[in-house]
Amino acid sequence: MIERSLNDNRQVNTSNRVAAFLAHNWIWIFVVLFGLYVWIPFLAPVFMAAGFPLPGAIIQTVYSTQCHQMPDRSFFLFGPRLTYSLPEIQAAWQNTMDMTVLRQFVGNPEMGWKVAWSDRMVSMYTSTWVFGLLWWMFSRKVRPLPLWGLILFWLPMAVDGGSHFISDLLGGMDSGFRYDNAWLAALTGQALPTWFYSGNALGSFNSDMRLLTGLLFGIGLVWFAFPILDQSFRSAAQPRPPVILPLQPYQSHYPSPSLPQKSSPQNPTSSPNQPSKET
């Protein structure tokens, strides 16, 4: 019984230490682990440019499960420009509109090498990582974001991403209503340059909206979720009391000596063979 109590107390102490460690260090665990997830896609073009195509291709393949990786909506490193238009990608790769073929283009020495996920994903996750650090620095001065605030921060991405999806589905990547944005040109009276309305190059309306909505996504996620995480870790770090088992009455393992039993007195009775006295 005592051994069981000691074992239970050891488990409680271990749980308390783990909870206290997480309460004080969870933000740094996030910075390291999520930081690796965020910055590894940038190593793909680094490996390609350094002459190590295999690790670059592995990174591209792994992150292709989480992103469309369309080259006209991605960044290129170690080349003359950060982004390229769809006709430029088709000229360098294949003249096709098949997205499953276009997404396989990872770059070349003349154009540079593609980051392993799209510009929207870069904006979403790098902003989450950066604002996570900023939240930790100023958390005592910032009130938590309510759920309706999170919805407002994420709504622009839902509208922008949803309209892009419908445009590509109905009109194709090079002729949908989100490719030329003729509706925006009509609203603004063609006040801006033509390149701003059409295509996905850096600085265009489509590119700006993907980067802006990704930025809002990261801010909203950190502002809403990180206070909840911090409070959860701090609550779990409250020390648990040690286990105290109730005392049980002592029971000997040896048999107790048997005591002689006293015979109960019996009333004398006449023997059946004894003759009865007559009065």
Q: Which of 104, 101, 107, 69 lies closest to 88, judged by CA?
A: 107
pLDDT at residue 171, as a whole number: 86
pLDDT at residue 279, as a whole number: 39
Is residue 185 in a domain?
A: yes
User: Which amino acid does the sequence have at 272?
Assistant: P
**Structure-token pair, residue 248:** 């049980």
What strands, in cross-sheet order, belong to the sheet with 112-118? 74-77, 112-118, 107-108
Is residue 55 in a domain?
A: yes
Structural domains counted in the chain? 1
Is the pTM value of this prediction over 0.85? no
In which residue are the tokens 């949908």 written?
A: 176
pLDDT at residue 18, as a whole number: 81
Is residue 136 in a domain?
A: yes
pLDDT at residue 172, as a whole number: 84
Do 173 and 99 touch, CB atoms closer than 8 A? yes
Is residue 262 in a domain?
A: no
pLDDT at residue 236, as a whole number: 79
Do 42 and 115 touch, CB atoms closer than 8 A? yes
d(CA 209, CA 120): 9
d(CA 258, CA 260): 7
d(CA 124, CA 214): 4
**Structure-token pair, residue 235:** 């609550």
Is residue 255 in a domain?
A: no
pLDDT at residue 277, as a whole number: 47
DSSP alpha helix (H) spans, the chain: 2-39, 43-50, 53-63, 86-92, 99-102, 119-138, 147-171, 177-180, 182-188, 194-197, 205-236
pLDDT at residue 267, as a whole number: 54
pLDDT at residue 248, as a whole number: 56
Low-confidence ranges of the chain (pLDDT < 50): 6, 270-271, 276-279
Domain around 62: 2-236
- Measuring CA to CA, how many Å separate 271 from each of 3, 16, 265, 275, 277? 66, 82, 17, 8, 12
pLDDT at residue 221, as a whole number: 97
pLDDT at residue 61, as a whole number: 96
Is residue 243 in a domain?
A: no
pLDDT at residue 278, as a whole number: 45
According to DSSP, the residues that pair with 113 across neighbouring strands are 77, 107
d(CA 60, CA 69): 9
Is residue 250 in a domain?
A: no
According to DSSP, the residues that pair with 76 across neighbouring strands are 114
Is residue 264 in a domain?
A: no
